[in-house]
Amino acid sequence: MCILSYPLQVAFLFSIIFAVEDFINHEVSSMVFLAYFIVGIIVSTVSERKITDVMLSSLPGIIFLILSFTLKGQVGTGDGLYLLLTSLYLGISQMVFILVISLIMSGMVSLLLVLTGKAKTLPYLSFIPLPLLLLITGRII
């Protein structure tokens, strides 16, 4: 069976690329986004996802993009675009899961940094691989 038949695993592999690039550069190159989009279209087609499912799954990404424009960069546009493109791979319940877990994790790290006096901007995409890994393994810590 082809790796493209496993949307969670493909999304996880890409999430590592996004996380590393976001952590190092605080941005992700447009080529990585383009590759993620193209592979996402193929994965959606191979897995025979309905367009209505993809549209529903895209809501978290759309909300993030709206927040990015409304809050003038306090929420990264790349974060919203990543979530929007991830809707090509995952269903709405999986999208909500990774969103909630990654927000909780980033909030905990942010709180720790504030309490230790080392507050700084955190690359949100660095918090995405772990929730995806939890979905793949079926284990919740």
First to last CA, the chain: 30
Cα distance between residue 108 and residue 116, in whole Å? 12
Count other C-beta atoms under 10 Å from residue 105's C-beta: 17
The alpha-helical segments, DSSP class H, found in the chain are: 7-25, 30-46, 51-57, 59-70, 77-86, 92-115, 129-137
Cα distance between residue 34 and residue 89, in whole Å? 15
Domain ranges for the chain: 3-128
User: 67-75 long-range CB contacts below 8 Å, 24 or more apart?
Assistant: 75/124
The amino acid at 101: I
Q: What is the pLDDT along the chain (141 residues), one digit of tens a residue?
A: 555 558 889 999 999 999 999 989 888 999 999 999 999 999 888 888 888 898 999 999 999 899 888 887 677 888 889 999 999 999 999 999 999 999 999 889 988 888 888 877 788 889 999 999 998 888 654
At how many degrees (to 10) do helices 59-70 and 92-115 cross? 40
The pTM of the full predicted model, rounded to 2 decimals, is 0.85
Cα distance between residue 125 and residue 22, in whole Å? 6
Give 66's Cβ-side CA count (13 Å radius).
6
